[in-house]
Amino acid sequence: MERNSVNRYRLPVPENLLERIDKTSSPAHVGKLRNAIDFLVPENTPVLAAANGIVTYVKDDSNIGGSNPAYWNYTNFIVIMHANGEYSRYDHLTYRSSRVKVHQAVTKGQEIAEVGMTGYTFRPHLHSQVFIYIGTNFWMDFDTISVQDFG
Ligand SMILES: [Zn+2]
């Protein structure tokens, strides 16, 4: 599905710590993840909520990761639900760095976690995507959205 996001999203990391944005280098940015964005930043950079919303998922109990696809399921991540059914997701977070809990309301720019190296990742960065659900399976039934002003 191609559509422009109806919400306005801010950069999910502090601008002064952003090395660069990379949309295409990751071998994972294909298929339904084609609109995902990697924000290259130092480890432990604060992760910021891209828009107001409600936290719907938090995983921060993983402490392993690296440049092997075997680490795919070990990413720590947070999902936030926004207005009009859009969600944002933040991956590779540092072990036990989440500052938020499920059902918590967050505001745009609020610090929610730290950038880490959990899951399948070659270097410290924040993997992020805006998406919608297109079915009922949390892991499979989603599609990412192209967001013009998301970084
Ligand atoms: Zn990525």
**Nearest in space to 142 (alpha carbons), one of 131, 130, 127:** 131
| Model confidence pLDDT, tens digit, residues 64-97 | 999 999 999 999 999 999 998 999 999 999 999 9
Q: Residue 4: pLDDT above 90?
A: no
Using alpha carbons only, how large is the chain's radius of gyration in Å? 14
* Measured torsion, CA atoms of residues 77, 28, 30, 83, in degrees rounded to the nearest 10: 10
| Model confidence pLDDT, tens digit, residues 23-43 | 988 888 999 999 999 999 999
Distance from residue 127's CA to the centre of ligand 1 (Å)? 4
Q: Residue 2: pLDDT above 80?
A: no
**Which residues touch 135 (CB under 8 Å, ≥6 apart)?**
141
What CATH code is assigned to 15-144? 2.70.70.10
pLDDT for 7 equals: 79
Distance from residue 71's CA to the centre of ligand 1 (Å)? 14
Distance CA 24, CA 42 (A): 19
Distance from residue 106's CA to the centre of ligand 1 (Å)? 23
Distance from residue 116's CA to the centre of ligand 1 (Å)? 13
With bands split at pLDDT 50, 70 and 90, how would you rate the model's confidence at 6? Answer: confident
The mean per-residue pLDDT over the stretch 101-116 comes to 98
pLDDT for 81 equals: 97
| Residue extents of the structural domains in the chain | 15-144
- Collapsing DSSP to helix, strand or coil, 28 comes out as coil
**Nearest in space to 128 (alpha carbons), one of 67, 68, 69, 45:** 45
Distance from residue 92's CA to the centre of ligand 1 (Å)? 9
One DSSP character per residue, 76-144 reads -EEEEE-GGG-EEEEESBPTT-----TT-EE-TT-EEEEB---EE-SSSEEEEEEEEESSS-TTTSEEE
Distance from residue 124's CA to the centre of ligand 1 (Å)? 11
